[in-house]
Amino acid sequence: MPKIDLKKELKHLYRPSARDVVRVDVPAFRYLMIDGAGDPNMSPDYARAVEALFSVSYAAKFMVKKSPSGVDYAVMPLEGLWWSDDMASFVANDRTRWQWTMMIHQPPCADDAVLHAAMAEVKRRKGLAAVDLLRLETFTEGPCAQTLHVGPFTEEGPTIQRVHDFIEARGALAGKHHEIYLSDIRRADPSRWKTIIRQPMA
């Protein structure tokens, strides 16, 4: 049975070009989510949140693979919704003023029962307290503008501004700033980090 990779199936959403800002329509997807606030580089809650998300997502993947269906799939990348009372803080990259929801897109084969079982297993096996803060949610963004940023997170400001300019030339910003982290920042050079910058638009 071939391995499912939603990044490839949804390449218009997960493989944008860095050259252009484009409009996309994002349908409803199921996510494992967790909320927090503050600079992710300074907050221990952020690291615990990300550990819980990936631990449960991989536990669910192996549960599905070992089930009678035998389906195998690639765990999706980490995504983040970021917001603040002042939208200018995004362009200024002032992350201390940001609130966040970190999340991982779950495939249909990892249904609610599997994910709840995965949460229980991770809590029992690893004792991660942040697992209790996880939730399953269907999230719909609708029309958005997005592009690919290549480089460190601290240099996202001009890329974010390009996305905002694209939207403001056609309408208005709506919803929460959305980032999708395509690189393993533990291994890749910061100059090569790839992050999708997405913003809902009205």
pLDDT in tens, 130-151: 999 999 999 999 999 999 999 9
* Structural domains of the chain in order of their starting residue, each with its CATH number: 6-200 (3.20.80.10)
State the pLDDT confidence band at 93, using cuts at 50, 70 and 90.
low
Amino acid 77 reads P
User: What are the structure tokens assigned to 63, written together?
Assistant: 């549960």
pTM to 2 decimals?
0.92
